Amino acid sequence: MALNNHKLVIQASLHKFSFVVIDLSSQTIIYFASEAITHKKSFEEQLTHFFVKYTQLSEQYTEILVLHDNTLNTFVPQALFNEDKISTYLQYNTKVFETDYFAFDEVTNYDFNNVYIPYIDLNNFLLDKFGSFTYQNINTGLIQLLLPKTKGNELPIVFAYLKRDSFELIVAKNNELILFNSFQYTTAQDFIYYTLFTYEQLNLDPHTTVLNLIGRVTEKDPVFEQAYTFIKFVNVIDEHALIAEDLLLHHQVPKQHYILFHS
């Protein structure tokens, strides 16, 4: 089969499998699908079902990117990075096992790497389907999207990328990463507790340090209301990816899949 001029981006976690098809000529998203993953069936069985259901997954693509959606990662400065000791970097962040496989992403244009544990079962399945593809931890893409937004700003800027029950907190200034961390949360009070604790630990002034909210959030959400109660400058980033007119999507879908839609 001849290659099309399309890019396939897959995002997979333990709970969801999503993908978009991007027309590289127009940089427009022309297809999107998302499926829940259950623990009642094997992971491979469900992936096989997705490939049968969506013929788009069986086409020949110019580029294929697979995003491993988990928080089993940490950013390591290049000066401290030793690939021979890659397994040691995560032992203080998460529980690791001797059987775990470790990988790292070289974060383009920055002097640090993202060390993480990928989903090996996913990679093995996709290798059989595609032969070759590029994969990375999803937070590599998040950092590459957010750091350029701080270029020229000498004061730190805080970003919170909100998902259903967790969020990533990124602090950066002038295109340099200061902090990256992931938190579990249930309520808006949980969110503001972790955020204000981070402000305190980094000596950030809530009256001057901007907080940008991304993902599953609007100005009517309790998360925004809590943030605005304690932090003077709170923004909701609502960037629109280019989406084909005939692709009917709920307006919240691109926000909830911010990294996927901007990869």
For the chain, how many structural domains are there in total? 1
- In the chain, count H helices and then E strands: 7, 13
Tokens of 12: 């997979």
User: What is the Cα–Cα distance from 232 to 12, expressed in whole angstroms?
Assistant: 36
Tell me whether residue 162 is in a domain: yes
Tell me whether residue 13 is in a domain: no
User: What is the Cα–Cα distance from 138 to 97, expressed in whole angstroms?
Assistant: 22
User: What is the Cα–Cα distance from 142 to 109, expressed in whole angstroms?
Assistant: 14
pLDDT at 3: 67
Tell me whether residue 196 is in a domain: yes
Q: Which stretches of the chain score pLDDT less than 70?
A: 1-3, 248
pLDDT at 95: 82
pLDDT at 216: 86
Tokens of 76: 């390591």
pLDDT at 178: 97
CATH number at residue 206: 3.30.420.260
User: What is the Cα–Cα distance from 199 to 235, expressed in whole angstroms?
Assistant: 16
How far, in Å, are 16, 119, 140, 206, 230 from residue 44 at the CA level?
A: 13, 12, 25, 47, 46
pLDDT at 2: 53
Q: What are 6's strand-pairing partners? A: 23
Pairing of strands 211-215, 112-116: unpaired
Tell me whether residue 174 is in a domain: yes
Tell me whether residue 9 is in a domain: no
Tell me whether residue 94 is in a domain: no
Close Cβ partners of 210 (under 8 Å, ≥ 6 residues apart): 157, 158, 233, 234, 235
pLDDT at 94: 82
Tell me whether residue 183 is in a domain: yes
192-239 per-position pLDDT tens digit:
999 999 999 999 999 999 999 999 899 999 999 999 999 999 999 988
pLDDT at 97: 82
73-99 per-position pLDDT tens digit:
999 999 999 999 998 999 888 888 888
pTM here?
A: 0.93
CB 101 within 8 A of CB 116: no
Tell me whether residue 246 is in a domain: no
pLDDT at 254: 82
Close Cβ partners of 73 (under 8 Å, ≥ 6 residues apart): 90, 93, 114, 115, 116, 117, 137, 139
Please provide the average confidence, as pLDDT, over all residues in the chain: 93
pLDDT at 77: 95
Please name the residue ranges forming H helices in 71-214.
120-130, 138-146, 188-201
Amino acid at the residue 200: E
CB 126 within 8 A of CB 66: yes
Q: What is the DSSP letter of 143?
A: H
Close Cβ partners of 126 (under 8 Å, ≥ 6 residues apart): 10, 66, 133
Look up the domain containing 193 and give its range.
149-236
